[in-house]
Structure 1
């Protein structure tokens, strides 16, 4: 037969109960600290937003023409292409090989 001291109650021993209590209180304090820190950061952000100077209105009127949108040319990867294509040189006709007794053209 077992002695009553060897049988652990359903809640555990006194040391186990105290350990669970310390962990629970520590968790609650951690959550209170996290909530306080989040509130502090939120209030500081609101205070900074309230004292910030809004950006000035643009002094240059926007152009009515559509801007040329070529991100590769803007990045310098390809050269800027002209707005209108330039006339290219005409290609000469191909020289045909002689076909035997034909008279060469002069």
Structure 2
């Protein structure tokens, strides 16, 4: 049986730092490079797999005949409107709902009391 006191005894002498050899430094650098490249390859595979899944979903959604039937029977929905564009704070992005500007009435044709009279 191993003596437990010899294992647990505190160090009685100072431990000196020994610098790593060139071989140890090189092996550590190669190990870090391997881990980095493995991580990079793993991320590329995950992104590629996600891209394939997204493309398959897009193809399956467009080819679904049930969605086409539901889309024909559905009531048309009102397009989302921009409240700031509705009140005139910002220009509207939708070009189909542009209204024609109202013509400014000619001052001669108005019956307002302060309107100038043509000579």
Determine if the TM-score, normalized by the shorter chain, exceeds 0.5. Answer: no
The structure that has the greater radius of gyration is 1
Q: Larger % of helix: which? A: 2
